[in-house]
A and B are shown apart, each in its own frame.
Chain A
Amino acid sequence: MRHDSDQQKLFNRRTALLAGGKLLLLSALAGRMYFLQVLESDKYRTLADENRINLRLLPPPRGRIVDRFDTLLVDNQQNYRVVLISEQTPAVEQTLDALSAIIDISDAERARIMRETRRRRSWVPVTVRENLGWEDVARIEVNAPDLPGVLIDVGQSRLYPHGIMTAHVLGYVAAVNEAEANGDRLLLLPGFRIGKNGVEKTHDLALRGKGGSSQVEVNAFGRMIRELSRQEGQPGAEVRLSLDLEVQRKLASLLPAESSSGVVLDIRTGQILAMASMPSFDPNAFNRGLTPDEWRYLSQNPMAPLINKAIAGQYAPGSTFKVVVALAALEAGAITPDTEFYCNGSLALGNARFHCYKKEGHGRAALRDGIKWSCDVYFYEVAKRIGIDRIAAMAERLGLGQTLLTDLPGEQPGLIPSRAWKQKALGTSWQGGETLVAGIGQGYITATPLQLAVMAARVASGGLAVMPHLTMDGPLPGESATRSLSLQAGATEPALFPDLGIKPEHLRVVRDAMEAVVNEPRGTANGARIKEPEMAMGGKSGTSQVRRISKAERDRGVIKNDDLPWERRDHALFIAYAPIKAPRFAAAVVVEHGGGGSAVAAPLVRDILRFVQERYRLPATAPTANRPDDPAIALQNSG
């Protein structure tokens, strides 16, 4: 038994050693517990809260856009979309595989999703698909356990109820691109849209509003358990435009789809009642996402459906420019209304011969007939007398050669050439012949339809510096206050715009001639006159040559527009104001490659001016029916 007791003693010693070791290890556990749960507890408490609490941005509803009578131009609609949060899914590819069993995901879409997933922070949800139907939403919800990181998100998308009719003015919204992301977390939200064109772009900040936030408790799969707190954002402001939807629709439907544009202005206030450009596009398509075919059509079509040609189309103004030349000459004292020139069909200057559109010539004419017949030789003579710089100065006073709007992106300034300009831009000196060409609105001169309408408005207003604008009264958040304007008519109302300093009698002469253009038998646009005297308009046609007519062709006989390919035909232009007694509305229409201004553009202007006058003049058709007290609509013309 000695062995046994030795053995037991050894065993007991070793047991004590073992017990000591175990106690040490257990103490290590307790110590670790103390370290984690007492010493480091605050740190881990914060981490646990970060785990469970998500700060979610609440996108503000984008402001609506209405016309002058508060008719909806842009609304929001509910949009169910499925988003993917990459940090909440173990494998993005696998989750997409599972998701594509429920909804179709094309390879291109998949590539885009993977790209965005890599580009964006892992907590940022990436939109997989928008505008889901109810059935798809339900199927995704049911399969949620197999789709970690996949969430259904109810957002709002833009609805443009008038589609192509209002497309260019309103513009459209689209997803934020990388260059536009400026650190505002709102812009990182999936499917967040910002204005990319039109009013949506210029008033983007106001329309956007301010994002709110919501603290929610989520589980490890990102599913929301409950909301802990909420801070409401500020919805986007409503933007009211000076547009009158009815006039806008009328104009848009009048304009031929083959490339044309037009503007209707209120002369007294400068408010744009209608602005359209054709062909147009459907802004709703941008919302749901364009197909490659659609995009190709929109971006490569030679008629540029995406461009607002009313402000970005720059055309030689043609004979409409004669208004400028006449006023410049009268103001310079180079001619009087009675100054006569003889037109035999052409004018020689040096070796060159400058032709009148009327080959046999107009004969002897004074200023009134020169405008009324649109005699080119008359204006060659006038231009020769006053020179390009005085023409340019008058053009600029009448609103040409500069951008006029603050509320639309993409406006082009056109071009009013001068000696200094040519020296600087082309490095050569001005040629006398170029002055002659400028005298009939050809050559370097270009202007936009909006500028032409403003020019008509400035002449018709009695020489006021009418400035066009599109946004109605009332300051908008984030924007400079726009002029407070009322449409209320009244003779005693002080003028809103400064006087340009053009002598009233000169303006009267030119207006008289413009009225003759339309209303007298030999006037170029007599066929497009408004027959009711109280609505009669004054105007000026223009046919701007796109091609150069060679000597040979002129000898053979100038080819008729109808026989030319579309892109080589003349542009048809017409500017007008109405009614002639107390001008209230100004309009300009350009039909690209349309042919003769008086034949093609003038009837369109007549129709729109007639429409707008009837709408605002006659109580029966005026939109006062439902809102009789609105002073803005009490448009009964004092004249």
Chain B
Amino acid sequence: MALFSRGLNAPEMTIGRKFWQVHWIFLLLLTAIALIGMAMLYSAANGNMEPWASAQMARFALGIGILIIVSLIDIRHWLRWAYVFYAMSLLLLAAVEIMGYVGMGAQRWISLGFFNVQPSEVMKIALVIALARYFHGSDPEDTGRIGHLVVPALLILLPTALVMRQPDLGTAVMLMMVGAILLLLAGVRLWIFALAGMIVLAVIPVGWHFMHDYQQQRVITFLDPESDPLGAGYHIIQSKIALGSGGMFGKGFLLGSQSHLSFLPEKQTDFIFTMLAEEFGMVGGLGLLGLYTLLLTYGFAMSLRARSQFARLVGMGITSTFFLYVFINIAMVMGLIPVVGVPLPLISYGGTAMLTLLFGFGILMSVHVHRDVIIGRRGIDDGW
């Protein structure tokens, strides 16, 4: 307790009190979505818990445990260790360049023996915290200055460049967008975004030149999936057929012909939303979208309620990351954006994604639990 008592403006909380501050409705919502995911994994295995649904259930249970533990950690510890956490994540990212696995054609994993870590996933959280830390200490006037944006720009571009090299287009775009969202929330002038947008447009032809063939192919296929119906366009065409043929009310649980006859690729991972919309129709798809929106709303509410800029930015950053996952995945399977390997949060099969996500939500929950903690402009310096 002594650790937290010095220089803090908020009344101290015991672990027990914090525990009661956890947003249990939010957790219920998470669990509901995860249960839908397990039902879909059960269907993807043609009505079997194995091999996906039961494993996913175990991970979710583990993840919820992690979430609760993380939510009890004082938000100021994240502030204090923000840059260290960021530096370590960057090192890990760099490490996969050297000793990473080659999996699915891209170096994305780092093996810790018993567990494979995906540094790019960790980086998404580390970037949010580092940027929040930076803008927590800045004046609203500061954020209007270009010079003040050099550090955050570097914070965003360094990991983005590393991820690009792996190459992982989806994560790179996501890091950029999360960074941009935090900059927006921190009060960076809107004309700067307009300028940045124009620069990006100008850079696209150059970037195109540096893209891998398969990335270029994905963009081409996105623009005209029918151009290669048996190759790269196959996934998206089959996904659209599955979605469309689901109609208003769907074909029924376990009865999706596209999914169960294997026309739909990756139905247990990236294309799981398609399967849900095929079997439960638009009603099912909108239902899930509604649950996600509710979750996002809670995320927004929890962030807005926080009394420190750092907590607000962290909360919004994590919520926005979550939103980006949802949007990119669903937009992708519906053919609105190119095929990028982004899972549908809480639903898609995959351990790292699930654990990282719940870890992130743990920090969001920590924001909620410590919403009344006030942190000075210079953060820990003025008290700690």
Contact = CB atoms under 8 A, between A and B. Distances in A.
Contact of A34 (B245, B282, B309): B282
Interface stretch (B61-69, B156-164, B208-216, B330-338): B330-338
B282 A33 contact: yes
Contacts of A45: 244-245, 247
A48 B323 contact: no
B140 A6 contact: yes
Interface stretch (B21-29, B48-56, B118-126, B256-264): B256-264
A185 interface: no
B327 A15 contact: no
Contacts of A339: none
A592 interface: no
Nearest to A89: B230
A365 B244 CA distance: 100
A6 B139 CA distance: 10
B139 A3 contact: yes
A48 B257 contact: yes
Given A29-B289, A37-B277, A15 B185 contact: yes
Contact of A44 (B243, B296, B312, B320): B243
Given A22-B323, A44-B241, A33 B140 contact: no
A219 interface: yes
Contact of B248 (A18, A32, A37): A37
A26 B304 contact: no
Interface in A14-72: 14-15, 17-19, 22, 25-26, 28-30, 32-34, 36-38, 40-41, 43-45, 47-49, 51-52
B245 A41 contact: yes
Given A7-B309, A10-B140, A18-B320, A36 B240 contact: yes
Q: Residue among A26, A37, A52 with the most chain B CB within 10 A?
A: A37
Interface string B299-320: 0100110000100110010001
A33 B285 contact: yes
Interface in B25-57: none
B323 A51 contact: no
B225 interface: no
B281 interface: yes
A244 interface: no
Nearest to B334: A32
Contacts of B336: 28-29, 32
A93 B312 CA distance: 58
B377 interface: yes
Contact of B243 (A6, A37, A220): A37
B110 interface: no
A37 B244 contact: yes
A18 B242 CA distance: 32
A221 interface: yes
A51 B377 contact: no
Contacts of B257: 48, 51-52, 217
B201 interface: no
A18 B184 contact: yes
State the majority secondary structure of interface residues on B.
helix
Nearest to A39: B244
Given A87-B230, A220-B262, A41 B244 contact: yes
A43 B238 CA distance: 13
A12 interface: yes
Contact of A38 (B139, B187, B282): B282
Interface of A: prevailing SS: helix
B263 A14 contact: no
Nearest to B278: A48
B181 interface: yes
Contact of B289 (A10, A30, A90): A30
Contacts of B281: 37
A217 B286 contact: no
A17 B242 CA distance: 34
Contacts of A87: 230
B111 interface: no
Contact of A14 (B187, B246, B247): B187
Interface residues of A, number: 43
Contact of A43 (B230, B244, B282, B292): B244
A33 B334 contact: yes
Nearest to A50: B241
A67 to B, nearest CB: 50
Contact of A47 (B244, B293, B331): B244
Nearest to A53: B257
Interface string B334-362: 10100000000000000000000000000
B246 A37 contact: yes
Given A36-B240, A219-B263, A48 B185 contact: no
A17 B300 CA distance: 12
A3 B377 contact: yes
Nearest to A12: B304
Given A52-B257, A52-B263, A44 B240 contact: yes
A335 interface: no
Interface in A361-383: none
Nearest to A41: B247
Q: For B238, B263, B313, which residue has the most chain A Cβ atoms within 10 angstroms?
A: B263
Contacts of B247: 37-38, 41, 45
B184 A36 contact: no
A156 B383 CA distance: 91
Contact of A11 (B185, B285, B286, B320): B185
18 contacts: A3-B139, A3-B377, A15-B185, A15-B303, A15-B304, A15-B316, A22-B323, A26-B327, A29-B289, A32-B334, A33-B286, A36-B244, A37-B285, A45-B245, A48-B241, A48-B245, A51-B258, A221-B262
Given A33-B277, A41-B245, 18 more contacts: A12-B304, A14-B186, A15-B300, A25-B327, A29-B289, A29-B327, A32-B334, A36-B334, A37-B247, A37-B277, A45-B245, A48-B242, A48-B244, A48-B263, A51-B238, A90-B230, A217-B257, A219-B260
